[in-house]
Structure 1
Amino acid sequence: LSALENKLTEAELKAMLSGESDGNNAILAINSGAGGTESQDWASMLLRMYLRWGERNSYQTEVLDMQYGEEAGIKSATVLFTGDYTYGYLKAEIGVHRLVRISPFDSNKRRHTSFASVFVYPEVAEDVEIEIRDDDLKIDVYRASGPGGQGVNTTDSAVRITHHPTGIVVQCQNERSQHKNKASAMKVLRARLYEFEKEKKDEEKKAKEKEKKKIEWGSQIRSYVLHPYRMAKDLRTGVEMGNVDAVLDGDLGRFIEAYLLKVNVTA
């Protein structure tokens, strides 16, 4: 019966994923908030959580870019998730994620609150026309850096692309080949420009604007409390899970389902 129930739930979920880009692959970007090492460590915990979610659901994952923190954790990361409906599911994760815990970096063992933001873009198929003029791009190459700022390799293989008309900047330093990094950066740029144009159209007709909040550090979607009690709570749906360790290990199904149900009901 449980297998049948799972199939039903999956069928129901897919029926909800009828948005234009829901069936696409997803590009997920994590950025640490203010607070240095604390929030950078939290960003790396979120990265692990999403990679584990991908693994649990048999999706392919590829880290396209990672900017390491000075002491620990990461300043930012960009990951490509490949598989059916990855964008449809992961769009439920867009927003600010808040962690409350006793800090492992504080010798006085005080409680700290850390923030990191998550944004998700649909990967854009090659046959979708997106005009990118060479004149509008500034391409910089530089040496990739690893944890603690140390050089990962001795060649200028990392690539940063700036799109002047929109001010969008993307970077990729995960491959040793400059050519591969440039291709990955262009893939992310296409996704960002597609989303940018879509947002512009949405704003023009003021559609979907209630749900589409800009990410600000105030727009928290979920809190993960490790001290003084243990609880992960989604602030949009009210769904709570006491087993935070399972959540941080990629068990996000209940949160994603509840969000998709809520959005469908209010749509």
Structure 2
Amino acid sequence: DYEDGDEAGIKSAAISIEGENAYGLLKSENGVHRLVRVSPFDANARRQTSFAAIEVMPEIENDETIEIRDEDIEMQVYRASGAGGQHVNKTSSAVRLIHKPTGIVVASQQERSQFQNKDNCMKMLRAKLLELKAQQHAEKISDIKGVQMKIEWGSQIRSYVFMPYQMVKDTRTSFETANIDAVMDGDLDGFLNAYLTQLATGELKK
């Protein structure tokens, strides 16, 4: 489920990843990622820095311990945007749910049916509420994002540098590699293993 950017690229995207221990492995990616490269959208080929915030949530089908009352939810419908053929922009099938007690906002537009999009939203909302419940000390919704901070300089968990040299480095574990092409193609094993090892041993930097 994605939304095009105002100028170029993707503004936001939601993806579902399935597999053994998917959440346990990929929770290391939760946080702010910093990219330094020559922007393909800049005619002057200047080096630019971009930031992306990633949230990793488990998919929760049903959990009786999480109660979501109808009166606590505000539902908004709107027209889907982006690629999708004749269906796009003809019907208001996209759904946004606002959980009023916590301020959590979730949205889905990839399905053709408003009901399917609402179902996706409920899954995401349930996952976020379960994460919030797991952190009993959490006083505000921003706390469920773990180590994620504001999208700005100094807050990144990992940097991907294409120019003037090539290096990917994780600021929490100090794990790094110069093989940036492999990382961009999905080779994250080194980063995942370093994070989980240090998390287990209590050596992870905050």
TM-score, length of structure 2 as denominator length: 0.87
Name which of 81, 84, 94 aligns with 2:30: 94
Name which of 143, 147, 150 aligns with 1:213: 147
Within 5 A, what are the aligned runs for 1:78-117? 78-117=14-53
Q: Deviations over 1:97-139 (max 9, x none)?
A: 1111112222222111111111111222414431111011111
What amino acid does structure 2 have at the position aligned with 1:213?
A: V
Q: Deviations over 1:218-252 (max 9, x none)?
A: 42111111111111111111111111111011000
SS at match of 1:187: helix
Equivalent position of 1:18 in the other structure: none
Counterpart CA distance in 2 for 1:261 and 1:197 is 25
User: How far has the Cα of 1:203 moved from its partner?
Assistant: 4.3
Within 5 A, what are the aligned runs for 1:1-267? 65-146=1-82, 152-199=88-135, 201-203=136-138, 212-217=146-151, 218-266=154-202
Counterpart CA distance in 1 for 2:19 and 2:64 is 19
Q: Identity rate of aligned residues, in percent?
A: 55
Q: Is the contact made by 2:96 and 2:108 (CA closer than 8 Å) also made in structure 1?
A: yes
Counterpart CA distance in 1 for 2:170 and 2:29 is 10
Q: 1:85 to 1:202 in 2, by over 3 A?
A: farther
What amino acid does structure 2 have at the position aligned with 1:70?
A: D
Q: Which runs of 4+ in 1 moved over 3 A?
A: none
Q: Deviations over 1:189-208 (max 9, x none)?
A: 11111112222x1448xxxx
User: How far has the Cα of 1:77 moved from its partner?
Assistant: 1.0
Counterpart CA distance in 2 for 1:79 and 1:68 is 15
Equivalent position of 1:31 in the other structure: none
User: How far has the Cα of 1:145 moved from its partner?
Assistant: 0.8
Q: Is the contact made by 1:143 and 1:151 (CA closer than 8 Å) also made in structure 2?
A: no
What amino acid does structure 2 have at the position aligned with 1:243?
A: N
Counterpart CA distance in 2 for 1:259 and 1:187 is 27
Q: 1:227 to 1:250 in 2, by over 3 A?
A: same
Equivalent position of 1:44 in the other structure: none
Counterpart CA distance in 2 for 1:223 and 1:144 is 33
User: How far has the Cα of 1:83 moved from its partner?
Assistant: 2.1
Counterpart CA distance in 1 for 2:19 and 2:40 is 36
Counterpart CA distance in 2 for 1:214 and 1:95 is 4
What amino acid does structure 2 have at the position aligned with 1:119?
A: E
RMSD: 2.2
Which structure 1 segments of 5+ residues have no match? 1-64
User: How far has the Cα of 1:214 moved from its partner?
Assistant: 4.1
Counterpart CA distance in 2 for 1:152 and 1:98 is 32
SS at match of 2:14: strand
Counterpart CA distance in 1 for 2:6 and 2:87 is 13
Which structure 2 segments of 5+ residues have no match? none
Counterpart CA distance in 1 for 2:177 and 2:199 is 20
Q: Is the contact made by 2:36 and 2:160 (CA closer than 8 Å) also made in structure 1?
A: yes
Q: Is the contact made by 1:157 and 1:181 (CA closer than 8 Å) also made in structure 2?
A: yes
